[in-house]
Structure 1
Amino acid sequence: MLTRKICFFFFFLIFICPVSSAENYALLVGINNYPDDISPLRYCVADVLSFRDELINLAGFKRDKILLMTDDTKGNMEPTHINIIMQLGLLAKQIQPPDTFIFYFSGHGIANEVGSFLLSSNSNIVTQDTLEMSAVPLDRVNKILSSLKAQQLLVVIDACRNNPEANRGIEDNFLTDNFSKGFQIHRRNLDNHQPRVSAIFYACNVGERAYEWPDKGHGVFSYYLLQGLKGEAANEKGEVTITDLADYTQNKVLNWAKTYRGKKQTPWLNLTGETRLVLVDKIKPRLLSNDGSSVTDPELEAWKIVKDSANILDFEDFLSVFPHGDLSDVARLKIKKLERVIKPQQVTKPLSQQIQAELDLARQRFNLAKKNNDTVAQVIYRQKEAQLLAKLRQVEAKEKLEQQRNWHNSRLRQPYRAGSQNQSDMVLIPAGPATLSFYLDKYEVTNAQYNRFVQETGHRKPYYWDDEYFNQPNQPVVGVSWYDASAYARWINKRLPSENEWEWAARGGLKNKQYPWGNQEPNTSRANYGRDVGKSSPVGSYPANGYGLYDMAGNVWEWCHDWFSLDRDGKVVRGGSWYSYTYSLSVENRNQLNPDSLDNFFGFRCASESN
């Protein structure tokens, strides 16, 4: 019986001075979606993706040297226990003494009296036997990593932030002393090479847990770790060392946990070796003067950047940082002058679009300042970005329902094209707390319906058009991007449903229920899920919900109109699929995909106005 579960995020580092002929390798594993007996996680994939970006942007890693294993990768890169061990072993044979290697695992971890394990995408923790046969033993990882010839080795383990047992994901999962000692890498120094330096950086102390930060889309420790690497932990020489990074991260995480949770999370560092560990060495330091020496005037430097600009936003950025500075009155005068010139050409836009434009501009200018090593400009635009992002969240929340009302007031319903669906193929959904009444397709759009669109318009064929497992006329069309789905909807004088509309329709008139049929657990008589069928089913193969809508749980994920978050890096998909596990079928479960994605487990259905 599994008696001890652990949750930790530790940072194990062996790093020495870079070698000119060295190659940089990384294996990054992030798992959010687990089998039914293991609770899902939210930000593991986001953490490894962000870490990959910083390896490329800050550490000079080549993209083709970074192997990524997440919920979306397939084949040999699917994060099963066998694949993870195999990829580690293959890299161990490939890596040479001058090289650097990073292994990052973000997912669930578990420990009991037998041993400690990392849980892979196919792990089963029902019994001790199934655990040992389907998880990644920590001692196996230790053995492989101990055999590495690389001079520089970095291991990041995030395993995990909550209880891995199904339906207990909100419970604390504390770091145990035995698990923190279970990750032991013993590597001997090679002849003619410098001695190694080792550091273990834990996300929390023994008896604590690591928290997540939904507003940032990361674990708290991971978020501040990344911020520190980007320069927040830089010393006066512009270096980010492991000790500086630890001090910065510990202070930030400790304050966050106390402020937002009223609890304690204390990252801590265990460092051995004599060589200084410099993780990043090209970031310009902050403007600090602890010894009384002269420091460049940031306001004057900022004014030099914007003073000749013809863009009002530049001066607004300046005033947001120096509202009461010596040059603030001059900046306001400059704004009034520019307003008189450009006012006749201005076109009124929704406030959220105006803020988004300012935010995009601030991000562009921050990236440019970062490229030019301009510390003053980086400070200005980082602060500006934070202010605009907070403002944008508030405005978009207020505008969302109003946008839905505008659809009803501005769009006139047109007759459907010959041969297309009509209202008999749709269901009138009554108005809800966050929606007006609207029509929604009774079924997911089929291959037969999409084929008419392709034939009449010449639009590209779906990715799986020639695959007999997914191309039957009455199966839902798959292998279509969000843009493909939107094009079809416009052609048939419809649109994709908003996320609020989709969820309200999926509930079928039920309140506070987990699934379209109620709170009863899913089974194969209610939905196609869990890879039981192995492919999508013909639409309407399972019972309809209370509104008469079919396949609102399982079969294929369905594209929605909305962006998943303010970062606008993924479109919302809802409902789960034939490939998904139980939790994905919940009417409240959200997921996201790149709008260009093409795969065989998501499709769509259309909506239209009721007037």
Structure 2
Amino acid sequence: MRCMLLALLLSLTALPAAPGGRIKALVIGINRYESRAISQLDAAMPDAKALREFLVSPGGPKCSPADIVLMTDTAGAALRPTRANVVAQLRKIAGLLQPEDTFIFYFAGHGVNRRGEDYLLPIDTNLVNEEKLIATAVPVGFVTNTLLTAPARQVLFVVDACRDTASSKGGVFGSALRIASTSGGDQADRVRATLSAARPGQRAFEWPKVGHGVFTWYLLEGLKGAAAEDNGTVTVDSLARYVQRQVSDWTKTYLKGRQSQLPWLLKDGVAPLELLHYQPKNLVSAKLDGTPLKAALQELARQVNCDLLLAPGVPETAPVTLTLRERPLTDALGLLLRPAGLVFEVQDRIIVVSQPTPAPATAQPASGPVGRDGMPLVLVPGGSYRRGSDQQVIEADLKLAADGREIPEYVFWNELTDREVSVDSFYLDQHEVTNGQYRKFVEAGGYRTQEWWSDEGWAWLQEAKVTAPAAWDEPARRTDELPVAGVSWFEADAYARWSGRRLPTEAEWEYAGQGGTGSRYDLGETLDPFRMSVGVAQPAAVKSHAASPFGLYDLTGNVAEWCADVYDPDFYRWGERFNPICVATLKVDVEVPRRCLRGGGYDADAITARVRKRAALEPGERRLNTGFRCAADLRVVRDMNR
């Protein structure tokens, strides 16, 4: 296991560099620390060496070897990665940078967070006490400030580390290492991005089979071309997507899903951050003369061996006249679809075409894919939305109390944000999981089979000694069409695993709840008790009310729904903007992290039933107004229904 391995990659501009610019780098890897109180690593130095070799290789950006400074355990005195040498080399190189230069700072080793401050641990770090730590470690703030004041045009901050408390022989103290998003300044062409190997609370693992950290292994594979877009460009976004998918798959294969590691990307600035350019791939050709849109898309998908998904509302028979000659797939799709006002996404060799999210489809066909439990699955096309509430929305929502009472503004503080975030296309259960569906899990031995439970969930189950949801034997609550309720987060998670799906993230749930319109409730701006199960004595059978714009039922009311995320009240302010998910809270005084809950139950009111409202419970808590629905990635559903 690789604990607290930090790979810090800063200020990477488009490769090859702009005319007149040079790529310079300070690459550091530490396996063996001088202090026995710090655990030794196996892959930090190989990772640093591999990155350096790539940067100077003919297949990479062809950096001048003289411009790449490598500091490792075995280097000579001036390049031994002590605190003094690291600081001196960083200042020296930063002082020599020109406006069009590229600067890379890579650090592989341990890192800790102490009292809210992040530190990189050079080889001579002293952990006897906090005073010694501060005197011998390198503050991350110093590194970022040094680099951000340098004239480098673009900055990429890559962290290969686990950010829970470091494990070591002497017990490295400090809470989770967290990396804050940097600011790109006022210049339009300045881009700042942070790419982290793991989210707060997760570990970044080493892979003994290949002799590298899992994240850095796939980072290098992505830079070598595996993360290239159809036009041949490796951008920080395409690199992040590639590494996220590969690392996530690795944990499922080698850790059997019992632990997870999910890289994440934080990006500031609107200019693209291009890393490398390769030959274009996925080239398509076609001569379309009045061809129906669906047939044209099917032909392009066939040429590059992709599947095709058309969301409701796409004009399948609209005639298309266009000639394409050896065009990258994404370019061809843009030429084909943008004139019709359509948007697309290519995910895991699946092409998704839909209306823009501000004008989503109003219904989903009944003949779509179904889950293992018979649940109809609804395609939710990916897109961007305004997360949470800004001050103007909060001021409007403060007036919602039916009895005229004043609602304190702090009720909304955990949803306060001005961020726009994006999510990939995904599938979501058409309605909440029902008693009838959950009974299949119970009868299949779900409460006796450890395979479907996380380690924490199985431990909870052994202690709780439950064999079914709360109040499962009450006749009034066993009606098959009612949503299952009285389940803990652990039970919902186990059911999702058994069914081949997962719980939705908070971001996915809120995006689906807003229905592409940014509405207050899933069916509009007004709470209508005749169209929603809110403020009533008991839940209704699923699909008793109208469907939302995405074709989903009862996202507002009926039962509150568990989400995958760990609850952190500040996550909306520090979380990433693309496929965000919180896997650990940064609150150091939390003993049992709570899990997120969305949508309000049948007993909710106008405030708590809003789709923007954030709530949470301890993962082992069971309430009769709480249930869930599942989500699934596109490729999972594709493979499930083949």
TM-score (norm 1): 0.43
User: If you compute each CA radius of gyration, which structure gives the higher value, 1 or 2?
Assistant: 1
Bigger helix share: 1
Q: Compare the two structures and name the one with the higher strand fraction.
A: 2
